[in-house]
Amino acid sequence: MASVDVPVALLGYGTVGSAVSRLLVESADDIERATGHRLRVVRALVRDPEKERAFPADPGVLTTDIADIRDDPSIAVVAEVMGGIEPTGDYVLALLAAGKPVVSANKQLIARRGAELFGAASAAGVQLRFEASVCAAIPVIKVLREALVVTTVHRILGIVNGTTNFILTEMEKGSGYDEALAEAQRQGFAEADPTEDVSGADAAAKMAILATVAFGSRVTLDDVEYEGIESITPLHVAAAREMGMAVRLVGAASLVGGKLDVRVHPALVDRRHPLAAVEGAFNAVMLQGDAIREITLEGPGAGGIETASAVVADMVSVIGTTGTGFLQNDACWRELEPLEPGRLRSPFYVRLDVEDRAGVLAHVALRLATHGVSIGRLVQHQDNGSATLHIVTHEAPAGDVDAALEEIGGLEESRSAPSALPVISDRGVPGLGWA
């Protein structure tokens, strides 16, 4: 089936807007395969069209006049990635009234003027989606609205602001507050006015949105009691560490006896609690309910491309699919070869029972080295003339580790068949160590 060309527009072409534009270009084939549509940015509203952009727009796309978007009947959906309440709110109302679906990443706008905006969307019979307004790349709104449609959620606990979580975890590593905030701004996590982040207002708006969706009752920013991290000092961080805890900015929304409570405040979180393990600009949301017990979603909670992925997903949901794209049925569109046996890389734990005499360790190390397997850690336990070696290798192909162990098993000093178990020691994502 021929693809359908879908003109779309953006309000804003900053950190998130330019990333949306980049994703629509670079993932155009994926989107077309999934939906049958090619989304093309034809207009983007900015303040200054001359400004240098992270991903430059095509000539003629940038405009300073909202009418260029509102009055263009070809534009099928508009992404609001501009931020602020005014003039943004009035622009969104005008677009909805003109029959244009809107997707928004603007938590303050949704949390403050949601009733008015959703009313306008209903009246016009168009969609207003807002996945990117809460926790960037984590599809928590979709999970609450679609996957948990018949589940009663009675408590939400979350880390929902990337900037403050980044600052707190940098403080744990010894950075100062101001230095960490400046780095969050440099990396594009922080709001245009970072006071919204550090005061807790950003997290409060997100908790208002989550509570509204989960409990089905309108919660606005004014209904949320919040406190930020401005008063948190290195002394709090050090004291928490000494007591086996971590300082986190936590949002909590609870339904207690049919009544609502939504708040955001800094808290000491036990190191064994899942929220203590959330580091950097990552967010996590724990949904607690009768049937589901507890579901935790964790992922990037801020950042241009991370947020853009949710914006594009919302645009795709609005546009829908033509024909029978895989969103509606079979997910298979290609045939991938299986990886050759033994080529998957991992660190391994290796246990060896050997004779306890001179040169044995050298023989073992030589067999590992011959197959390119490097030793990361080694512990030896002796017992009555024999020794047990506990080795953790650096990452290596499983087949190379097996080949080395086969040779080691054949050494005359070996007392039993060596065994290896994979070690899970990182997040599998470059730059992410243990959370």
| Active site positions, annotated | 206
Structure tokens belonging to residue 325: 């794209």
Q: How far is the CB of 17 from ligand NAP (least distance, A)?
A: 5
| Amino acid making up residue 192 | A
Nearest residue (CB) to ligand NAP, 35 versus 161? 161
Residue from the set 21, 106, 163, 199 that interacts with ligand HSE by CB under 6 A: 163
Does residue 164 come out as left (phi exceeding 0), alpha (psi in the -120 to 50 range) or beta?
A: alpha
106 binds, among ligand NAP, ligand HSE, none (CB under 5 to 8 A by kind): ligand NAP
The set of long-range contacts for 370-374, using a CB threshold of 8 Å and a minimum separation of 24, is: 370/404, 370/407, 371/396, 371/400, 371/401, 371/403, 371/404, 372/396, 372/400, 373/400, 373/401, 373/404
Q: How far is the CB of 205 from ligand HSE (least distance, A)?
A: 9
Q: How far is the CB of 162 from ligand HSE (least distance, A)?
A: 4
User: Residue 33: phi, psi to the nearest 5?
Assistant: -60, -40
| Amino acid making up residue 172 | E
Nearest residue (CB) to ligand NAP, 203 versus 214? 203
Q: In the window 164-193, what residues touch ligand HSE (CB under 6 A)?
A: 189-191
What's the rounded Cα separation, in Å, for the pair 145 and 150?
A: 9
Task: List the beta bridge partners of residue 269.
Answer: 246
What's the rounded Cα separation, in Å, for the pair 221 and 74?
A: 35
Q: In the window 149-208, what residues touch ligand NAP (CB under 6 A)?
A: 188-189, 191-192
169 binds, among ligand HSE, ligand NAP, none (CB under 5 to 8 A by kind): none
83 binds ligand HSE (CB under 6 A): no
Q: How far is the CB of 290 from ligand NAP (least distance, A)?
A: 31
303 binds ligand NAP (CB under 6 A): yes
Beta-carbon contacts of 208 under 8 Å, excluding residues fewer than 6 positions away, are: 111, 219, 220, 221, 223, 224, 262
| Amino acid making up residue 30 | D
Structure tokens belonging to residue 364: 């073992």
Q: Are the C-beta atoms of residues 200 and 226 closer than 8 Å to each other?
A: yes
Q: How far is the CB of 120 from ligand HSE (least distance, A)?
A: 23
Nearest residue (CB) to ligand NAP, 26 versus 406? 26
User: Residue 334: phi, psi to the nearest 5?
Assistant: -155, 170
226 binds ligand HSE (CB under 6 A): no
Q: In the window 247-306, what residues touch ligand HSE (CB under 6 A)?
A: 301-302
Nearest residue (CB) to ligand NAP, 47 versus 351? 47
Q: In the window 44-73, what residues touch ligand NAP (CB under 6 A)?
A: 45-48, 51
Sheet of 37-45: strands edge to edge?
62-63, 37-45, 4-11, 77-80, 102-104, 128-129
Interacting residue ranges for ligand NAP, rule: CB under 6 A: 12-17, 45-48, 51, 81-84, 87, 105-107, 132, 136, 188-189, 191-192, 302-304, 307
Interacting residue ranges for ligand HSE, rule: CB under 6 A: 136, 161-163, 189-191, 197, 202, 301-302
